[in-house]
Amino acid sequence: DGGITQSPKYLFRKEGQNVTLSCEQNLNHDAMYWYRQDPGQGLRLIYYSQIVNDFQKGDIAEGYSVSREKKESFPLTVTSAQKNPTAFYLCASISGQINQPQHFGDGTRLSIL
């Protein structure tokens, strides 16, 4: 079955540490996105990528970095510069058609130790 796989489901970060969240899709989708969700809040866009080797900042990119070396993969690194990383992180993708909904992975919950 096609879908989006995020790992790990839970992640703990020590102060000063960088951590990487994995997002893999086998839907052959071109565009991929990373969102952050805080309690009682909507989803906020961190980064997005429309094609391989290209990505753009979203509304809250500071303290995060991404790469898009393969079509299937869009990992997100939460750097030590992100002072408030505790949140639920969601990866999404769409095909090239703008009338299609975004498909979401199951999310990664990141907490500070």
Which residues would be at the binding site for other proteins (CB under 8 A)?
A: 31, 33, 35, 40-45, 48-50, 56, 58, 88, 90, 92, 94, 98-99, 101-107, 109
Provide the minimum distance between the beta carbon of 112 and other proteins in the complex, in angstroms, as a whole number. 18
70 φ, ψ (degrees, to nearest 5) = -130, 155
Distance CA 22, CA 4 (A): 10
Residue closer to other proteins (CB basis): 15 or 97 = 97
**Cβ count near 76 (within 10 Å):** 22
Residue closer to other proteins (CB basis): 84 or 99 = 99
Distance CA 107, CA 4 (A): 10
Residue closer to other proteins (CB basis): 50 or 80 = 50
Residue closer to other proteins (CB basis): 16 or 39 = 39
Which residues are CB-contacts of 50 (< 8 A; sequence separation ≥ 6)? Answer: 30, 31, 56
Provide the minimum distance between the beta carbon of 49 and other proteins in the complex, in angstroms, as a whole number. 8
